[in-house]
DNA sequence: ATATAATTCTAACGAACGTTAGATAAAAGG
DNA sequence: CCTTTTATCTAACGTTCGTTAGAATTATAT
């Protein structure tokens, strides 16, 4: 068999389907067809449809954003955030789709209450984390918290642009927008 | 009959269901149950499920955002945008859900290619419109276009916060964030 | 009052869904 | 080589879905 691990391939195809058609619009039969395996094979590796969806969010998505968050290093704070956003353009198609699916759940457009709860937990950590990052650079800034909040909001839209709408954002545009919000930093 | 127009009530319930469960997760039977009418009545007023969904986006959503866009008057540009966003907090539950559903389609999380096309058309008008609004106030601003783009991005996140995540945003927070982006205006 | 049109219903059709039973084939272990 | 485990399949079950046929009821108009 030249195939990658079948379980892995099922998950990859499932990501595509959940992304394009949502949880309810995705059928196990269609996944099986695209994976080129029989329908019960999916039940061989995953207890049911919900477990398949949950594994994508719980493992793949949260791994991805933790991986992304760990990339945060900096000297110049604008350089740093620019690179952070710009690099999203070059995520693998799989990672982008996992990210997109996660945002869909984050916005309560899919998934169940349990997954939404996990998202809310994660969300609570966002602002403090960026505040920690920015703190040393916010000396001559008036309303620190507002700047951090605005930055986070701006990041959210840019991430959505690249990952959800699947648009390429040039580095110049990213830098320009970040510079407007962070102009008094450092 | 004390009821509101049945056709209207069907649409209202449909908005709730499409919002909570997505297009594929919504069933005509459940809508009928909540409307308290028999299942074929829905087919009496709407050709099929898709036409019902389409009418919500094409009529309700686009009417709503045109109504919102027409509210744009101004003296102080920050006051003006602050009010624009802040008032979203007080949209009726129905309007909020229509708005939310529209954003879901806008992000390609639901709906078909045709509806997405309409969204893309609308999206193209957003930047020029705000540029027109801001132009008189952008005299002493360096990179005009970048400011307008950043503003539009920030508006997008705040709208999403209020309408999609259904969070209340206090006027103070809205004003603070807008002031950071628009601080050199006028 | 009666005929016509507008609403509403019960009942069902065929298709597609999630899921499982149970058989078969392939691989691994002794 | 035989046994046991792992991987895969065909076929089906019961449910629910979108949709429609066709009858019953109500309102409107003549």
Nearest-CA neighbor of A42 among A6, A18, A94, A17? A6
**A39 C-beta less than 7 Å away from strand D:** yes
Residue A1 pLDDT > 70: no
Note the pLDDT of residue A3.
54
pLDDT band at B1; cut points 50, 70, 90: very low
Note the pLDDT of residue A2.
37
Note the pLDDT of residue A6.
93
Taking 3-state DSSP, the helix, strand and coil percentages for chain A, each rounded to the nearest 5, stand at 75, 0, 25
Distance B33 CA to C1 C1' (A): 38
A164 and B108: CB-CB below 8 Å? Answer: yes
Measured in degrees and rounded to the nearest 5, phi and psi for residue B74 equal: -160, 150
Domains and CATH numbers, chain A: 1-46 (1.10.10.60), 57-181 (1.10.357)
Q: Are B22 and B49 in contact (CB under 8 A)?
A: no
B158 and A153: CB-CB below 8 Å? Answer: yes
Across chain B, mean pLDDT equals: 90
Q: Taking residues B121-140, what's their average pLDDT?
A: 90
Residue B142 pLDDT > 70: yes
Nearest-CA neighbor of B102 among B75, B70, B68, B74? B68
Note the pLDDT of residue B2.
36
**B41 C-beta less than 7 Å away from strand C:** yes
Q: Taking residues A136-164, what's their average pLDDT?
A: 92
Q: Are A169 and A86 in contact (CB under 8 A)?
A: yes
Note the pLDDT of residue B11.
94
Q: Taking residues B92-119, what's their average pLDDT?
A: 88
Q: Are B35 and B6 in contact (CB under 8 A)?
A: yes
Using CA of residue A54, residue A12, residue B157, residue B98, what is the dihedral sign? negative
Tell me which residues of chain A have a C-beta less than 8 Å from any C-beta of chain B: 21-25, 104, 107-110, 143, 146-147, 149-150, 153-154, 156-158, 160-161, 164-165, 173, 176-177, 180-181
Q: Taking residues B149-153, what's their average pLDDT?
A: 96
**B10 C-beta less than 7 Å away from strand D:** no
Q: If DSSP codes are grouped into helix, strand and coil, which group holds residue B25?
A: helix
Q: Are A13 and A28 in contact (CB under 8 A)?
A: no
**A97 C-beta less than 7 Å away from strand C:** no
Using CA of residue A77, residue A78, residue A81, residue A87, what is the dihedral sign? negative
Q: Taking residues B102-107, what's their average pLDDT?
A: 90
Q: Worst-scoring range by mean pLDDT, A63-72, A107-116, B55-64, B144-153?
A: A63-72
Using CA of residue A127, residue B169, residue B158, residue B61, what is the dihedral sign? positive
At A75, list the tokens.
Answer: 């000297």
Q: How far apart are CA B17 and CA B28, in angstroms?
A: 10
Residue B16, Cβ density class (10 Å: 0-12 exposed, 13-18 middle, ≥19 buried): middle
Instruction: Locate the chain A residue with the closest alpha carbon to B20.
Output: A109
Q: Taking residues A142-165, what's their average pLDDT?
A: 94
Give, in order, the Cα–Cα distances in Å from B177 to each of A148, B51, B125: 10, 40, 23
Note the pLDDT of residue A10.
96
Note the pLDDT of residue B101.
86
Q: How far apart are CA A74 and CA A182, in angstroms?
A: 14
pLDDT tens digits, one per residue of B12-31: 999 999 999 999 999 999 99
**A37 C-beta less than 7 Å away from strand D:** yes
pLDDT tens digits, one per residue of A6-50: 999 999 999 999 999 999 999 999 999 999 999 999 999 999 999
Q: Which nucleotide is closest to B29, CA to C1'?
A: D17
Task: Name the residue closest to C8, CA to C1'.
Answer: B41
Bases of chain D with protein Cβ within 7 A: 7-12, 16-22, 27
Query: Minimal Cα–Cα distance from A2 to chain B, Å?
Result: 34
Residue A72 pLDDT > 80: no
A157 and B158: CB-CB below 8 Å? Answer: no
Q: Taking residues B33-61, what's their average pLDDT?
A: 94
Residue B3 pLDDT > 70: no
């Amino acid at each position: 068999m030249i195939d990658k691990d079948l379980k892995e391939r099922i998950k990859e195809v499932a990501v595509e389907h959940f992304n394009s058609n949502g949880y309810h619009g995705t059928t196990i039969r269609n996944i099986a067809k695209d994976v080129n395996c029989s329908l019960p094979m999916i039940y061989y590796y995953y207890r049911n449809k919900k477990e398949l969806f949950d594994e994508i969010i719980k493992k793949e998505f949260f791994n991805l954003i933790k991986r992304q968050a760990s990339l945060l290093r900096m000297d110049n704070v604008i350089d740093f955030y620019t690179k952070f956003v710009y690099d999203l353009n070059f995520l693998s198609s799989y990672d982008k789709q996992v990210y997109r699916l996660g945002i869909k759940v984050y916005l309560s457009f899919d998934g169940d209450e349990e997954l939404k709860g996990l998202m809310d937990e994660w969300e609570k950590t966002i602002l403090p984390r960026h505040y920690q990052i920015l703190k040393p650079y916010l000396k001559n800034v008036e309303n620190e918290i507002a700047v951090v909040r605005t930055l986070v909001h701006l990041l959210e839209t840019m991430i959505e642009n690249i990952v959800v709408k699947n648009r390429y954002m040039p580095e110049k545009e990213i830098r320009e927008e970040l510079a407007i919000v962070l102009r008094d930093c450092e």
